Amino acid sequence: MDPLADKVYPSPADAVADIPDGASVAIAGFGVTHRFPSSLITALRDQGAKGLTVYCNGLGQPGHPTAQMLAENRQIARLVASFSSRPGPPTVSEDQILAGAWSSRSSRSTLVERMRAGGAGIAAFYTPVGAGTAVAEGKEVREFDGVQHVLEHGIRTDYALLRAHRADRVGNVSFRGASRNFNDSFAKAARVAIVEVDEIVDVGEIAPQDVDLPAAFVARVAPTTVHIDVASLPRRAARPAGTGREYGGKPALTRQEIGHRVAMLLPPGGMVNLGAGLPNLAANFLGGRGVVLHGENGVLRYGGFVTDGERDPDLHDAGGNFITLEPGASFFDSVTSFEIARSGLLDAVVLGAYQVSGSGDLANWSVPDRPGGGIGGAMDLAVGAQQVIAMLEHLDSAGRPKLVETCSYPLTAPGCVDVVVTDLALLRRTPQGRFRLDEVARGFTAEEVLALTDMRVEVAEHVGTMQEAW
């Protein structure tokens, strides 16, 4: 290949015109709509190739130019994703999963590492992520240094559809903000990597130190033609932070107050990852504590959430929340992000939960009556953090305890939870491996909390009050 050959195609349609039926395609993008290669996806939908194997973090939001378009057009024969379903009305893709048409689960870091391995010529590798869970079923498991590891194989794909800010005419690419995510590893794993960009510039206009993805990994460049107005992006429905439940006619902590109690557990100056949903509320109480926030999409040291006013489409966390940046912030790809997560550099991780077992097992990605699931990055975060904090309401919407002796839902990770914070109680896992009730919400007794808890729990000699801890 001529290193100075012009790789620019007139349109996204021209760039995807030769993708055949049965091809394997990696599609970058994050969250429900953030920085998908929407122009290329739309062109591939219109081109009509069928029987595709699609690799992605998730298919994205229906009704927007995301990979859901390909599912709605019945072009996908097999899906490998870390998110195959989300809360809300079932999508066309979920209907196909439920019918047994296609789906393969993968944690977020395992998918990106499999792509990196494939692109680097590495046939397989062992990872602690997923050991002891459903994703390890049928795979080789070996023990290294007393820890179970799962054998995963590298992936090569026929094509990759990518999204970036700028490229020159020979294919050198630069990204903007926190939108780099899976793009690098997907490009390297593909035989033909196609990138759509906001700006196409002449060779030499991107300084060498600003090239994030070298031209060697890029086969085609196309202009972005499908734009998304970030002001119209969907927001995940959630109960107001100031609302809470009642138990026995008495008010428990509000969702915001649970976040406040969790925030006080985070080490000042520590590096922390806040999971999507309820754990995000802890961010409202970190002022002055010097906590460094980490996002799996590739951002470190971000600040608060942008809820009103102008939003930058390239500044978002892994949950899709638009964010501000703190001094000293940095951006990187998801490979680097999960190196941080698995290496023990995170002082704490806060995750939501459907269930927590008496031995610290965490279940937070799937429920039995829903197809697919949302593994996301939780499996990866749970195995590498110094401390895992589960943040949840004490009972589910049907009034069943979420703290159980044995999880009945699929596990995210076995024995990983160190602290549980609910709207009624704070429990810590002791060196003996069981949980101890250390605090209760004001107005409740330890006995009342234990009556709503379906696991064996020790009770501290002096049980504190949660509201007094902040």
Element holding 357 (H helix, E strand): strand 355-357
Strands 348-351 and 323-331: unpaired
Cα 288 to Cα 268, 284, 365, distances in angstroms: 9, 11, 32
* Distance separating alpha carbons of residues 141 and 149, to the nearest angstrom: 5
Residue 94 in tokens: 């979920």
According to DSSP, the β-strands at 157-168 and 244-247 are: unpaired
Q: 309 Cβ partners below 8 Å, 6+ apart?
A: none
Tokens of 25: 């395609």
The C-alpha atoms of residue 86 and residue 183 are separated, in whole angstroms, by 22
Residues with Cβ within 8 Å of residue 208, at least 6 apart in sequence: none
Residues identified as active-site:
296
Which tokens hold the place of 308? 């009103």
